[in-house]
């Protein structure tokens, strides 16, 4: 059981946290792993706090409950730090990744004394610079892949290129921006490791 | 050879439908089953299948249209959840009594109120006495596999009954997980074509479907349905065996997980069975002899087979994801206990209510229930029946 990597995503409705969790499942799947990616549904509306989950394992995953003691927590919207107990159950030897322009030192006091690793990335800035819009889920996905090492950089980039060529077949003009967002975020996250 | 893939339970069922390519699919959307007709209509629009898709204005109509298509000799299906199933109530009974072998992909969701979209078995259990065969799935894989087996069961001349293929809303329907998808041709070959003996659009042999039945015939028609449901048990087993031979997976009426030497067994249905199996492995590693009986087929109800499988245990937890508001137990608990009584099985049986309206059911919950069973056997004092698992306390915990 300890071989299963458990990730909990906190985001707001419309930011793509669920999509990012499903994309991460796809990435891990393509490495040959057993995966789970699922959202927790409440009264869905734009801006409401949402949770999504991933399990990644080298064995068949049978548990169908939510995740209470994650190895990694991903916060897609830093304003959630005020209202959601994002570090609840987070393993001390685990990590938290937060989308914020603040530094690790600035953000750590918000984490209720969490003693594990803290990573920050300015996914909104990366998104606006590369895509012209605030879609933080793409850079956050890349940062999670860099931190968890579920896939190496080159195959991940190649994998996502292929995925986007399929997904955006009718609007290829957005592929370059998305790839730039991914590589920028991946490299920024890898530099923190 | 099948291929390794990953997809949600809804996508898995939509792909099974694409592979089977039935003649007619009337459907009306309702969360969390909406994706199934949505994906099927996309497959049709993209030329991947040629099922006649009928967008109807309600579930009352989707089941009516499916029933009509079946009576005309077509192979039909629909998908729904929760209030959608409730709105089909009248037609569910008609489908069974008219002996139309149609298939319904049910994505289990609670019924209001309070208004909620999440999983429990209130919808399926509400339809338990409608004369439909009901098969439940633990995983996306089982939902896919069960759908492929549905028509061979339903259309068997000894059965001729409609089949509900059930999976837990969101928990499997919206969770992406690994799956083996079989080759289209292998699935088509396994399912075969419908061989219709009698149908409405046959001027050479006119029949009536659904006419008024006078007192002199109605009870005989009901008895014939009951016989068909009894026959279904062997047919379900036979189809499961053929499926396993062809594709290497699956279970017959239920799965017995480490029950052989188990002192304590949890009987459970649907996605939570996987969580229970993980807990069983953890507890076995600590030396506790525990097991899981995962019920696959709820209708026909394998009462004798279950009683036999449980008879050697010291205590059994029966897990109901549905209330019956009888002050006495959930539907699964009542049926299993009646079976144990008839089989004169001397087993302590405790009914628990869990997972209503999507309340999470965890590995820790399973540990606690097995611990309670062990304490009860040691002290000789049976726990209270129908405890609600994971209920919040006044302090909000």
- Domain B254-388 carries which CATH code? 3.40.50.920
pLDDT digits (tens, 9 = 90+) for A114-163: 999 999 999 999 999 999 999 999 999 999 999 999 999 999 999 999 98
Superfamily (CATH H level) for B3-247: Thiamin diphosphate (ThDP)-binding fold, Pyr/PP domains (3.40.50.970)
The CATH number that applies at residue A34 is 3.40.920.10
Query: B171 to chain A: which residues are within 8 Å by CB?
Result: 38, 64
Other C-beta atoms lying within 10 Å of the C-beta of residue B304: 12
Residues of chain B positioned with their CB less than 8 A from the CB of A34: 177-178
State how far residue A62 is from chain B, nearest Cα, in angstroms: 5
Distance from CA of B30 to the nearest CA of A (A): 15
| ipTM score | 0.94
Residues of A with Cβ-Cβ distance to B285 under 8 angstroms: none
Residue B248 reports pLDDT greater than 70: yes
pLDDT of residue B1: 76
Q: What is the pLDDT of residues B160-197, one digit of tens each?
A: 999 999 999 999 999 999 999 999 999 999 999 999 98
Strands (E), B125-258: 133-136, 163-168, 176-181, 254-257
Band the pLDDT of B120: cuts 50, 70, 90: very high
Question: Do B274 and A22 lie within an 8 Å CB cutoff?
Answer: no
Q: Domain of residue A79: give its range.
A: 5-192
Nearest-CA neighbor of A161 among A188, A182, A140? A182
Q: Please indicate if any CB of chain B lies within 8 Å of the CB of A38.
A: yes
pLDDT at residue A45 in the model = 80
For residue B281, give the chain A residue with the closest CA.
A1
Q: In the predicted model, is pLDDT for residue A2 greater than 80?
A: no
The whole-number pLDDT of residue B396 equals 67
State percent of chain B over pLDDT 90.
97
- Domain positions in chain B: 3-247, 254-388
At A181, which helix (H) or strand (E)? helix A175-192
A64 with B277: Cβ contact below 8 A: no
Number of structural domains in chain A: 1
Of A34, A65, A68, the CB nearest to B178: A34
Contact criterion met (CB below 8 Å) for A73 and A96: yes
How far apart (Å, rounded) are the C-alpha atoms in residues A32 and A187?
24
Do the chains contact at B6 and A29, CB–CB below 8 Å?
A: yes
Q: Model confidence over B18-27: pLDDT tens digits?
A: 999 999 999 9
CB of A170 within 8 Å of any CB in chain B? no
| Interface check B271 vs A, CB under 8 A | yes
Nearest-by-Cβ selection for B362 from A34, A36, A65: A65
Q: Are A135 and A178 in contact (CB under 8 A)?
A: no
Instruction: Give the tens place of pLDDT for each residue, B275-310.
Output: 999 999 999 999 999 999 999 999 999 999 999 999
pLDDT (tens digit, 9 = 90+) per residue, A24-55? 999 999 999 999 999 987 776 888 999 999 99
* pLDDT at residue B317 greater than cutoff 60: yes
Mean pLDDT across chain B: 97
The predicted model scores a pTM of 0.96
Q: What is the count of residue pairs from A and B with beta carbons less than 8 Å apart?
A: 62
Q: Are B3-247 and B254-388 in the same CATH fold?
A: yes
Residues B324 and B337: their CA atoms lie apart, in Å, by: 15
Peptide bond into B242 cis (omega under 30): no
Question: Which tokens belong to B313?
Answer: 């245990």
Is any Cβ of chain A less than 8 angstroms from the Cβ of B361? yes
**pLDDT band with cut points at 50, 70 and 90 for residue A1:** very low
For residues B30-49, average pLDDT: 98
Q: How far away is chain A from the Cα of B391, in angstroms, using its nearest Cα? A: 16
The helix (run of H) or strand (run of E) holding residue A153 is helix A153-167
What is the 3 state secondary structure string of B142-170?
Answer: HHHHHHHHHHHHHCCCCCCCCEEEEEECC
- Look at residue A41 in the predicted model and tell me its pLDDT: 77
For B188-241, what is each residue's pLDDT tens digit?
A: 999 999 999 899 989 999 999 999 999 999 999 999 999 999 999 999 999 999
**Where residue B394 falls among pLDDT bands split at 50, 70, 90?**
confident
Tokens 């030192």 correspond to what residue?
A105
Q: Could you tell me the CA-to-CA distances from B272 to A66, A162, B283, B284 in Å, in that order?
A: 12, 36, 17, 18
């Amino acid at each position: 059981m300890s071989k299963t990597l458990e990730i909990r995503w906190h985001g707001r409705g419309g930011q793509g946290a669920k999509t990012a969790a499903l994309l991460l499942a796809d990435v891990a799947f393509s490495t040959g792993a057993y995966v789970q990616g699922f959202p927790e549904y409440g009264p869905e509306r734009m801006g409401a706090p949402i949770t999504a989950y991933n399990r990644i394992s080298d064995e068949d995953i049978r548990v169908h409950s939510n995740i209470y003691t994650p190895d990694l927590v991903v916060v897609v919207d830093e304003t959630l730090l005020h209202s959601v107990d994002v570090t609840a159950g987070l393993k001390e030897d685990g990590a938290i990744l937060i989308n914020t322009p603040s530094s690790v030192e600035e953000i750590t006091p918000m984490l209720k004394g969490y003693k594990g690793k803290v990573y920050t990335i300015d996914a909104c800035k990366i998104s606006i610079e590369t895509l012209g819009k605030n879609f933080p889920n793409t850079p956050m996905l890349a940062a999670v892949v860099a931190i968890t090492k579920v896939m190496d950089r080159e195959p991940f980039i190649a994998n996502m290129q292929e995925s986007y060529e399929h997904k955006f077949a009718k609007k290829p003009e957005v592929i370059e921006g998305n790839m730039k967002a991914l590589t920028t975020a991946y490299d920024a996250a890898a530099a923190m490791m | 050879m099948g291929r390794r893939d990953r997809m949600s339970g809804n996508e898995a069922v939509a792909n099974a439908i694409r592979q089977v390519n039935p003649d007619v699919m009337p459907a009306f959307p309702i969360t969390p089953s909406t994706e199934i007709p949505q994906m099927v209509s996309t497959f049709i629009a993209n030329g991947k299948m040629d099922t006649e898709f009928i967008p109807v204005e309600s579930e009352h109509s989707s089941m009516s249209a499916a029933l009509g298509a079946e009576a005309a000799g077509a192979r039909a299906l629909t998908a729904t959840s929760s209030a959608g199933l409730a709105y089909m109530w009248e037609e569910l009974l008609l489908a069974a009594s008219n002996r139309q072998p149609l298939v319904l992909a049910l994505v289990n969701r609670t019924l209001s109120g309070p208004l909620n979209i999440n999983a429990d078995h209130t919808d399926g259990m509400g339809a338990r006495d409608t004369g439909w065969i009901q098969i439940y799935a633990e995983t996306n894989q089982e939902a896919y596999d069960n759908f492929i087996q549905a028509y061979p069961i339903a259309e068997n001349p000894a059965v001729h009954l409609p089949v509900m293929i059930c999976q837990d809303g969101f928990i499997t329907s919206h969770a992406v997980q690994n799956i083996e998808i079989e080759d289209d041709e292998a699935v088509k070959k396994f399912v075969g074509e419908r061989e219709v003996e009698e149908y409405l659009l046959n001027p050479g042999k006119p029949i009536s479907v659904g006419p008024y039945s006078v007192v002199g015939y109605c009870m005989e028609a009901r008895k014939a349905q009951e016989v068909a449901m009894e026959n279904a048990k062997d047919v379900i087993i036979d189809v499961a065996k053929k499926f396993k031979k062809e594709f290497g997976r699956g279970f017959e009426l239920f799965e017995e997980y480490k029950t052989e030497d188990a002192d304590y067994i949890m009987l459970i249905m649907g996605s939570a069975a996987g969580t229970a199996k993980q807990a069983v492995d953890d507890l076995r590693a600590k030396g506790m002899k525990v097991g899981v009986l995962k019920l696959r087929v709820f209708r026909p109800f394998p009462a004798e087979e279950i009683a036999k499988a449980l008879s050697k245990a010291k205590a059994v937890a029966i897990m109901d994801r549905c209330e019956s508001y009888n002050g006495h137990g959930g539907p699964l608990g009542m049926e299993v206990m009646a079976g144990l009584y008839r089989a004169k099985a001397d087993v302590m049986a405790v009914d628990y209510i869990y997972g209503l309206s999507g309340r999470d059911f965890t590995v820790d919950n399973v540990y606690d229930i097995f611990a309670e069973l062990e304490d009860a056997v040691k002290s000789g004092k049976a726990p209270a029946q129908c405890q609600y698992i994971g209920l919040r306390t006044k302090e909000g915990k």
